[in-house]
């Protein structure tokens, strides 16, 4: 009987000690890790202020290859939500919600020094009011570096079991932050390091448009003069083909960028026409969108000694080239261009500024998690307003609408939702992003 009483007393003492220890343990937990990356702070801010790229840098996929992610709420900023479901107990199920972002995105420019984003965490980690705080600090002599401090905070309240879990905060939460932060650095490294804070891109739903097309290329050392000469020649060929086909050219010229290389710029010049069906070689042909070339056929052609030589059979009017475009004659092709969402930005100036605008658009799409394929759906630009000159003096610069076709994107950019208008030649207060000093001597 005495031993039973001793055992009961021991249990009571252990319980009391456990309660006392639990009460004196912290009622909250905190852990943080930091990393300095060679990226503009606005780019880092945008990647973390939407959750569309989170699956690419989260360590969760390394634990569970079958994890499923779903997006809901807003596409960008506070209110954006991501839920996950994993088959591995280490991953489990949960939800992230962007709770706040300070300052707002339009205030994060080259002068901003700090920013902070908070994600609410809902998963099986113990505690309440769980959240990640992502603090950004601009560093470096030229502000070219960003320090990311990723912290996790949790409130345990008076739940003693939760308080004891603070002993393990350097387990799963700490490991998640450390490994995810390292993978985030890899994702950021894939984005060209440009400052697009002055860019005002919109997502536009484009409509399928019948178009005549001529392929061309120039040596970049030829500058704008070579570009203009090649474009004028292609436009003349298109206009002659349109007249022969009995259709009208109904819009400005479009340039589709094929390859902007170090030495050579390869591109297609297109012009919209008034008909979706053309009579070529005695037959009516309905125009269709271009398609990706068959890789097997392309590989076969690449190994052929005559791969670079066109024959009358494979270049005959009325047939189709490897992109599925209608062959009108030796130089002119016809197809349905555009169709679907595209990220659009406006450049006011000479054509020399268009390449930089393309770079800014691409970086913007990457940081916001928009999906695109430059090989199949290439960048294109439309000369919305031509340059106006009086003698050698430029009275008004040209306006170029630059587009990046998207395969997956929200309905609007943050700028659209905020009602921020893109620059226009009619609004001298708004300026397009400045081209680099060397752009004036560089062909588009």
Query: What is the spatial distance between Cα 373 and Cα 418, in angstroms, rounded to a whole number?
Result: 27
| Per-residue model confidence (pLDDT) at position 90 | 84
| Per-residue model confidence (pLDDT) at position 440 | 32
Q: E strands, 86-208, where?
A: 93-102, 114-122, 128-139, 145-155, 202-206
pLDDT tens digits, 374-417: 887 899 999 999 888 888 888 889 999 999 999 999 999 999 99
pLDDT tens digits, 317-363: 999 998 899 999 999 999 999 999 999 999 999 999 999 999 999 99
Confidence of residue 442 (pLDDT cuts 50, 70, 90): very low
Better-predicted residue by pLDDT, 2 or 369: 369
pLDDT tens digits, 73-88: 999 999 999 999 998 8
Query: What is the spatial distance between Cα 321 and Cα 16, in angstroms, rounded to a whole number?
Result: 83
3-state helix, strand, coil in the chain (%, to 5): 30, 35, 35
How far are the Cα atoms of 30, 84, 222, 257 from residue 441, in angstroms, in the given order?
54, 50, 9, 19
How far are the Cα atoms of 185, 239, 240, 300 from residue 317, in angstroms, in the given order?
51, 17, 15, 23
| HSE toward the beta carbon, residue 390, CA cutoff 13 A | 2
pLDDT at 144 over 60: yes
pLDDT tens digits, 227-274: 999 999 999 999 999 999 999 999 999 999 999 999 999 999 999 999
Task: List beta partners, residue 36.
Answer: 147
Length of the chain: 444
> Which run of H or of E encompasses 277?
strand 277-280
pLDDT tens digits, 298-315: 445 444 444 444 444 457
SS3 for 71? strand
| Per-residue model confidence (pLDDT) at position 277 | 96
DSSP string for residues in 206-272 = E--EEEEEEEEEEEGGGHHHHHHHHHHHHHHHHHHHHHHHT--B-S--EEEEEEE-SSEEEEEEEEE
This prediction has a pTM of: 0.84
Mean pLDDT across the stretch 425-441?
42
């Amino acid at each position: 009987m005495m031993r039973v009483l001793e055992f009961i007393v021991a249990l009571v003492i252990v319980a009391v000690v456990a309660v006392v220890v639990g009460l004196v343990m912290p009622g909250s937990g905190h852990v943080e890790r930091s990393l300095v990356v060679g990226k503009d702070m606005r780019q880092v801010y945008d990647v973390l202020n939407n959750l569309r790229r989170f699956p690419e840098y989260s360590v969760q996929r390394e634990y569970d290859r079958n994890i499923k992610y779903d997006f809901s709420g807003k596409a960008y900023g506070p209110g954006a939500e991501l839920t996950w479901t994993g088959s591995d107990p280490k991953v489990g199920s949960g939800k992230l919600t962007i709770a706040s972002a300070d300052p707002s995105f339009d205030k994060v420019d080259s002068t901003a020094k700090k920013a902070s984003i908070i994600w609410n965490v809902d998963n099986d980690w113990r505690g309440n009011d769980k959240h990640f705080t992502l603090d950004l600090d601009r560093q470096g002599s030229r502000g070219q570096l960003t320090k990311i401090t990723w912290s996790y905070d949790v409130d345990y309240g008076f739940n003693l079991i939760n308080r004891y879990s603070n002993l393990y905060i350097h387990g799963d939460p700490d490991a998640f932050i450390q490994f995810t932060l390292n993978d985030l650095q890899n994702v950021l490294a894939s984005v060209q390091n440009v400052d697009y804070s002055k860019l005002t891109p919109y997502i536009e739903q484009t409509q399928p448009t019948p178009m005549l097309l001529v392929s061309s290329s120039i040596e970049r050392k030829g500058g704008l003069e070579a570009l203009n000469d090649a474009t004028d020649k292609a436009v003349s060929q298109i206009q002659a083909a349109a007249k022969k086909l009995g259709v009208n050219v109904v819009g400005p010229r479009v340039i589709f960028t094929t390859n902007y290389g170090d030495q050579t710029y390869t591109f297609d010049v297109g012009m919209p026409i008034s008909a979706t069906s053309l009579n070529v070689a005695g037959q009516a042909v309905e125009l269709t969108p271009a398609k990706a070339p068959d890789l097997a056929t392309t590989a076969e052609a690449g190994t052929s000694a005559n791969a670079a030589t066109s024959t009358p059979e494979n270049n005959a009017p009325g047939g189709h080239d490897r992109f599925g475009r209608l062959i009108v004659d030796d130089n002119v092709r016809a197809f349905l261009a555009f169709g679907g969402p595209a990220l659009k930005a406006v450049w006011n100036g000479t054509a020399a500024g268009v390449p930089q605008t393309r770079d800014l658009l691409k970086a913007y799409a990457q940081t916001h998690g928009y999906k695109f394929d430059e090989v199949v759906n290439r960048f294109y630009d439309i000369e919305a307003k031509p340059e106006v000159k009086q003698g050698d003096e430029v009275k008004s610069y040209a306006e170029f609408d630059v587009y990046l076709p998207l395969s997956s994107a929200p309905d609007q950019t943050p700028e659209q939702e905020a009602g921020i208008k893109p620059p226009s030649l009619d609004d001298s207060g708004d300026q397009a992003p400045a081209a680099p000093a060397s752009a004036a001597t560089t062909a588009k």
